[in-house]
Amino acid sequence: MLSGPTALLLSTVALAVGALALWQVFRPLSQGSKYYLIIFLAGVLPLVFLAYPADLRLPARFRTRRQRGTSAENTPATTASTRPTVTDWVLVALAVVACLYPVLPIGIGSGGGGYNAFLDRQGLLAPTDLALGTVLLLLLLEACRRTTGWILPAVCLLFLGYGYYGGLLPQSWPVAHAGLDFSQLVDAFYNSDSGFYGTPLDVAASYIVLFTIYGAVLELSGAGRFFVDLSAAAFRRSRTAAGRTAVASGFLLGTVSGSGAATTVSIGAVTWPLLRRAGYPPERAGGMLAAAGVGAILSPPTLGAAAFIIAEYLGVSYLQVLGWATVPTVLYYLGILLSVEIDARRSGVRPVVIDVGSPWRLLARFGYHFASLIAIIVFLAVGMSATRAVVFAIVLTVALSFLAPRNDRAYRLTPGRLMTALVTGVRGVLAVTAVCAAAGIITATTTKTGLGPQAAALLIGGAQAVTSDPTLVLVLTALLAAVALSLLGLAVPVTASFVIGWVIVGPALLDLGVTAPAAAMFVFYFAVLSEVSPPTALAAVAAAAVTGGRLVPTMWQTLRYALPAYLIPVAFVITPAGLGLLGIGGVPRIAFAAVVTALSVAVLAVAAGGWLPGVGPAGTPERVLGALAGVTLLWLEPVPVTVGAVLAAVAAAGVFIRRASRPMSGSPANRVEEQL
pLDDT digits (tens, 9 = 90+) for 31-72: 888 899 999 999 999 999 998 888 765 344 433 333 333 333
Residues 6+ apart with CB under 8 A from 410: none
Quick one: which of 391, 413, 411 has its CA closest to 214?
Answer: 391
Using DSSP's 3-state secondary structure scheme, residue 637 falls into coil
* Cβ contact 463:476 at 8 Å: yes
Phi, psi of 344 (to 5 degrees): -60, -35
Task: Report the SS3 class of residue 297.
Answer: helix
The span from the CA of 583 to the CA of 578, in Å, is 9
- Assess contact for 47 and 13: CB atoms under 8 A: yes
Residue 353 phi, psi dihedral angles, 5° rounding: -85, 120
The Cα–Cα gap between 401 and 369 comes to 8
Angle between helices 305-314 and 318-346 (to 10 degrees): 140
What parts of the chain have a pLDDT lower than 70? 1-2, 56-82, 236-239, 254-260, 302, 304, 348, 353-357, 406-408, 488-492, 533-538, 663-676
The rounded distance, in Å, linking the Cα atoms of 520 and 305 is: 14
The helices-and-strands tally (H runs, E runs) of the chain is 34, 4
Question: What is the pLDDT at residue 595?
Answer: 93
Task: List, in order, residues 6 or more apart from 673 with CB less than 8 Å away.
Answer: 348
Query: Given this model, what pLDDT does residue 356 score?
Result: 67
Reported in sequence order, the residue ranges of 58-134 that DSSP labels E, i.e. its strands, are 107-108, 111-112
Q: Taking a C-beta distance cutoff of 8 angstroms, is the pair 489, 533 a contact?
A: yes
**CA distance linking residue 169 with residue 149, whole number of Å:** 30
Instruction: Answer for the pair 295, 251: CB distance below 8 angstroms, yes or no.
Output: yes
DSSP 141-168: HHHHHHHH-SHHHHHHHHHHHHHHHGGG
- Counting every residue written for the chain, the total comes to 676
- Tell me, what's the pLDDT at 67? 37
- 111 three-state secondary structure: strand
Residue 112, beta-bridge partner list? 107
**Residue 254 confidence (pLDDT):** 66
CB atoms within 10 A of CB 291: 33
Distances in whole angstroms, Cα of residue 419 to Cα of each of 188, 514, 619: 37, 46, 58
591 touches 584 (CB < 8 A): no
Q: Is beta strand 616-617 parallel, antiparallel or unpaired with respect to 107-108?
A: unpaired
- Give bridge partners of residue 107 from the DSSP assignment: 112
What is the Cα–Cα distance from 583 to 571, expressed in whole angstroms? 13
Q: Return the percent helix, strand and coil in the chain, to nearest 5.
A: 75, 0, 25
**Neighbouring residues of 285: CB distance < 8 A, sequence distance ≥ 6:** 246, 272, 275, 276, 543, 547, 549
Return the sign of the alpha-carbon dihedral for residues 304, 305, 308, 314. Answer: negative
Contacts within 8 Å (CB) and 24+ apart, 245-250? 245/271, 245/274, 245/354, 246/271, 246/274, 246/275, 246/285, 246/288, 246/289, 246/292, 246/340, 247/288, 247/292, 247/333, 247/336, 247/337, 247/340, 249/292, 250/289, 250/291, 250/292, 250/293, 250/295, 250/296
Task: State the Cα–Cα distance between residues 16 and 413, nearest whole angstrom.
Answer: 19
CB 339 within 8 A of CB 295: no
Q: Which residues pair with 617 in a beta bridge?
A: 611
* DSSP string across 430-498: HHHHHHHHHHHHHHHHHHHHTHHHHHHHHHHHHHHTT---HHHHHHHHHHHHHHHHHHHHTTS-HHHHH
pLDDT for the residue 315? 87
Q: Answer yes or no: are the C-beta atoms of 291 and 566 closer than 8 Å.
A: no
